[in-house]
A and B are shown apart, each in its own frame.
Chain A
Amino acid sequence: MYDFTYAKPASLADAAKALGADAEAKALAGGMTFIPVLKQRLNKPSTVVDLSALGLNYIKLEGGKLMIGAMTPHGSVAASADVKKAIPALAELAGNIGDRQVRYRGTIGGSLANNDPSACYPSAVLALGATIKTNERSIATDDYFQGMFTTALNPGEIITEVQFPIPEKAAYAKFANPASRYAMVGVFVAKTAGGVRVAVTGAGQNGVFRHAAFEAALAKSFTPDALNGIATPVGDMNADIHGSAAYRAHLVGVMAKRAVAAAK
């Protein structure tokens, strides 16, 4: 790891200032991806700005919405009675990210800011039509994800909260990469007042994406059988030593059916 200056601002304004003042400064949330990256010397920040003292670790269920502070760790989301009540699928998703140790440190904001193409959270956020609040604005989820490791965030912009509308029912089905246990294919389905949304992580060449064909079919009939015969374009899929594009395309269908069957 290259050395850097460490800052732990006590206010959002100070954090934004620290990040805004220096293009080489980087924000540190849970660090579960960022610290390994630093260890491999793949990133050389001048200043690391620790966001843990900004009061962003909270979960609130208010006004028909679930609000999760950006620095809330996965383990807290998984264990939260409010989350289990409002969106049980989200609690379950959070409870299967990484491992126990990672879930104590890794945060929802960090995951979304990084937008790893095989992370779980982006699929939930996209399928549930969540709103991403930052120190500057609110970003609709459909505008937020812009390809792998790329988001709508401006340099220095800090996610503060994720607001989830409550779906009628939802579920997440994940096929884990055997080695890393990241999502090789993860499908989040949500049936909401506004329609059905299906988001797929892990599989696509360009990060998380919505599956329009599945959404259309499920809008007509929210059943696993509704997905029979609907192919996922193989050409859009990622391929690596753990599985071909054809295998991933197939798994998207299998996981989507499982998620529909499990939705509650």
Chain B
Amino acid sequence: MVVDGIGASVKRKEDLRFLSGRGNYVDDMNRPGQTFAHFLRSDVPHGKLNKVDISAALKMPGVVAIFTGDDFTGVGGIPCGWQIHSKDGTPMVEPRHPVLAAGKVRHVGDPIAMVVAETKQQAKDAAEAIILDIETLPAVAGLTAALAAGAPLVHDEAAGNICFDWHIGDKAAVEAGFAKAHKIVRLDLVNNRLVPNAMEPRAAIGDYDVSSGEYTLYTTSQNPHVIRLLMGAFVLSIPEHKLRVVAPDVGGGFGSKIFHYAEEAALTWAAGKVKRPIKWTADRTEAFITDAHGRDHISTAELALDAEGHFLALKVNTQANMGAYLSTFAPSVPTYLSATLLAGVYKTPAIYAEVKAVFTNTVPVDAYRGAGRPEATFLLERIVDVAAREMNMDRVEIRKKNFIPKEAFPYQTPIALQYDSGDYMATFDGCLKAADYAGFEARRKASAAKGKLRGIGISTYVEACGIAPSAVAGALGARAGLYEVANIRVHPTGSVTVFTGAHSHGQGHETTFAQLVSEQLGVAHDMIDIVHGDTGKVPFGMGTYGSRSLSVGGSAMVKAMDKIIDKGKKIAAHLMEADVHDIEFKDGKFSVVGTDKAKTFGEIALTAYVPHNYPIEELEPGLEETAFYDPKNFTYPGGCHIAEVEIDPDTGTVSMISFTAVDDIGRVINPMIVEGQVQGGIAQGIGQALLEHAIYDESGQLLSGSMMDYTMPRADDIPNISVGMEVTLCTHNPLGSKGVGEVGAIGSPPAVINAVVDALRDYGVRHVDMPATPAKIWALIDAYHPKMAAE
């Protein structure tokens, strides 16, 4: 009998410690003899570092050591994990990213010196005594400024500030499509720059054991093994067996904690120098100017249609802000994680996209929840709405006319991806119904009677996640494999510990993964523990991002458990003197088919560890198996999101009235957790659409550099979110699951903006860039009715 297996809304195991204040986050940890680090950072966006004078600071109370860029000349730079080649075949420009600034500072927040002291306050006090001689250089913050002729260069080796100039798709086929078009719709759009703002600021402790020569880094990471690989192999040259990376409870990531950050390398390296643990915790202000930001694309899109509204060809030109240095996965975001998704759920036969990646004097930009796919989806779903309007077609009809039909799977898009499964009509119709799309006009009239402008917006999406088939990723530029690892240790009494390379920072893995084990091995939940986040315990792993934990990490567990069951069958066959082929494993019991002979899972486990009566000649004792699972393809969740908004024309305020989602994420293990993931992603999408914007001024200062100016979504900004599911199974992994972490953030922004534009239908508004702030909306209304301003 399996309790709480696949499909049950099991309450979370991890909640008890989080709810009682017993979580174990990095800042909750303290090491014996610990010191504290404070990073002195550049407050100029671009400058020549003439001198860093630490002599006075060294004499300040409590100071243990101070390190500057000069101390790090012997170690590697912070590496980039993905290499893109330009159209002409040349590799991207990959300037050195020093651990501490060397020669120049290139963004506000660039670390210049690390002060190590007995207390946090002493480290801060001493940092103020460091005398800097920085010669300010002209800076570029925005894409347009960086690409202008004669713009100041962020890196001398990157001419025109261009990192790479890449393309994908069949340009000739697209031109042919445009040549025969009935109509060509063009749209310029901006995907606004965001600050991830996981509620837990980044923190790390570097530790060095003099007796063993072993380094330990405790860090707020989504992928400790990746950090060990990047930092050990590329930056500090510490072999894996002497470097342990621990990511304990982590308070949200959303992508921003994937990347290897300079502070991690600096703390680890310096711990070896001062031979004491060094702790650092970012404050929020520091997070704003050091955590990798997200999005920041400018695009031009052109869609060619025939007279009936069929999409003939799509052409996209994008400029993507990389910031001052290449963060770990930055080059993949606007390219293989975005441009390859431009087919969306539509059978557009020809697509061509060009992407220019650009250096600027801003914080590095990298993957943020959705990473590239929200940008592609926003572009596509906006231009489809614009096309519908300009073709005088209904927004629903134009979409239905162009959907990839469910009979077409597996479906090869014209831009590299092969979708394995989906039913876009089902999620679409389901969402229209759930949102009462048909009844909208009555609601619009009711709002109008109160003087409010009501709008409804639809978006559909497909995303590629479950990252990634290693060979494919490698061919596209990834510098690592992207499989996942599971080690299943069955203990002598039949309890189970799972060691997974996936990392939970809110996803509830300790519960969901236990459900997989409970389902497959028939073991009760209180007999299962999930261990993650420690390279000293887990054999290997690539971590959690790209909605991969279940589809890749879970699949590895399934494979490892298959091996456990295979071995168990052999032991059971021996014990029950039957042929192994006659042993069946079901509901936690090994039985001989057609008899009432059976052994429990616990009995087999005990036999494996107490092998007195055991096939010792052909089978090793013990019951522990490891599996590496490398997916055969990406997974392709898809769905439909519908937003309903109401605008107050007097103030421009956009209120979210309702949000409805119907998603297809494949097989669902824990519906409660899945709904929570979708709701959270949608809240972030609403945040992007209406509230959030990282704004730099022309000189490179971050104007929205704290939560006083960067609008974080609050409870009263977000409506109730209705979540529905339609399931088509992933065809190539053993669970049939596709992934859910990012769908909310991918599908929701265009639904909201489509609703805003719909609400403004009487004001001549064709497009609104995100975020649709009150000031922006009022300006649009005011521009249409100039005399309103005077009233």
**Residues of A with Cβ closer than 8 Å to B?**
1-3, 40-41, 175, 178-180, 228-229, 231, 240-244, 246-247, 249-251, 253-254
Contacts and interface: CB of A to CB of B under 8 A. Distances in A.
Nearest to A258: B650
B704 A247 contact: no
A180 B707 CA distance: 7
B601 interface: no
A247 B778 contact: yes
B791 A178 contact: no
A243 B777 CA distance: 11
B775 interface: yes
A40 B778 CA distance: 35
Interface in B699-748: 703-704, 707-712
B778 A179 contact: no
Given A3-B121, A180-B708, 19 more contacts: A2-B125, A40-B285, A175-B651, A178-B773, A179-B704, A179-B707, A179-B711, A179-B712, A241-B693, A241-B703, A241-B704, A242-B773, A243-B775, A246-B782, A247-B778, A249-B789, A250-B778, A250-B788, A254-B651
Contact of B779 (A178, A231, A241, A244): A244
A143 B705 CA distance: 35
B774 interface: yes
Interface in B775-789: 775, 778-779, 782, 788-789
A231 B789 CA distance: 8
A228 B650 CA distance: 13
A179 B709 contact: yes
Nearest to B714: A181
B774 A178 contact: yes
Contact of B651 (A229, A241, A242, A251): A251
Interface in B663-717: 691, 693, 695, 703-704, 707-712
A77 B125 CA distance: 40
A250 B709 contact: no
A84 B287 CA distance: 42
Interface residues of B, number: 29
B695 A246 contact: no
Contacts of B782: 246, 250
A247 B774 CA distance: 9
A179 B651 contact: no
A229 B782 CA distance: 15
Interface string B110-123: 00000000000100
Contacts of A3: 121
Given A179-B710, A179-B712, A250-B782, A243 B774 contact: yes
Contacts of B788: 250
B790 interface: yes
Nearest to A2: B125
Nearest to B650: A254
A228 B789 CA distance: 11
Interface in B626-664: 650-652
Contact of A179 (B121, B708, B775, B789): B708
B775 A242 contact: yes
B242 to A, nearest CB: 39
Contacts of A240: 703
B601 to A, nearest CB: 51
Contacts of B710: 179
B441 to A, nearest CB: 28
Name the residue among A2, A175, A229, A250 with the largest chain B CB count within 10 angstroms.
A250
Name the residue among B128, B708, B712 with the largest chain A CB count within 10 angstroms.
B708
Contact of B709 (A241, A244, A247, A251): A241
Nearest to B778: A247
- Chain A at the B interface: SS class: loop
Interface string B277-313: 0000000010000000000000000000000000000
Nearest to B790: A231
A243 B779 CA distance: 10
A187 B194 CA distance: 32
Interface in B167-197: none
Contacts of A241: 693, 695, 703-704, 709
Given A1-B121, A229-B790, A178 B650 contact: no
A228 B651 contact: no
B122 to A, nearest CB: 11
Contacts of B774: 175, 178, 243, 247
B777 to A, nearest CB: 10
17 contacts: A2-B125, A178-B691, A178-B773, A179-B691, A179-B708, A179-B709, A180-B709, A229-B791, A241-B695, A241-B703, A242-B773, A243-B775, A246-B782, A247-B652, A247-B775, A247-B778, A247-B779
A241 B711 CA distance: 11
A242 B773 CA distance: 8
Contacts of B124: 41
Contacts of A254: 650-651
Contacts of B704: 179, 241
A3 B125 CA distance: 10
Contact of B711 (A178, A229, A231): A178
Nearest to A246: B789
Nearest to B789: A250
A106 to B, nearest CB: 15
Given A175-B651, A179-B707, A179-B709, A253 B791 contact: yes
Interface in B84-128: 121, 124-125, 128
List the 8 closest A-B pairs by CB distance, nearest first.
Answer: A243-B775, A179-B711, A180-B708, A178-B711, A254-B650, A247-B775, A179-B709, A241-B703
Contacts of A250: 778, 782, 788-789
A202 to B, nearest CB: 13
Nearest to B653: A175
A249 B782 CA distance: 13
Nearest to B708: A180
Contacts of A253: 791
A165 to B, nearest CB: 31
Name the residue among A2, A228, A242, A249 with the largest chain B CB count within 10 angstroms.
A242
A228 B712 contact: no
A219 to B, nearest CB: 20
Contacts of B121: 1, 3
A202 B762 CA distance: 31
Nearest to A254: B650
Contacts of A229: 790-791
A65 B775 CA distance: 39
A35 to B, nearest CB: 14
Name the residue among A40, A243, A247, A254 with the largest chain B CB count within 10 angstroms.
A247
A179 B708 CA distance: 5
Contacts of B779: 244, 247
Name the residue among B121, B707, B775, B789 with the largest chain A CB count within 10 angstroms.
B775
B85 to A, nearest CB: 38
Contacts of B773: 178, 242
Contacts of A246: 782, 789
A178 B709 CA distance: 8
Nearest to A247: B775
Contacts of B695: 241
B650 to A, nearest CB: 5
Contacts of B691: 178-179
Nearest to A99: B714
A201 B651 CA distance: 17
A211 to B, nearest CB: 15
A206 B779 CA distance: 24
Contacts of A180: 707-709
B288 to A, nearest CB: 12
Nearest to B704: A241
A228 B709 contact: no
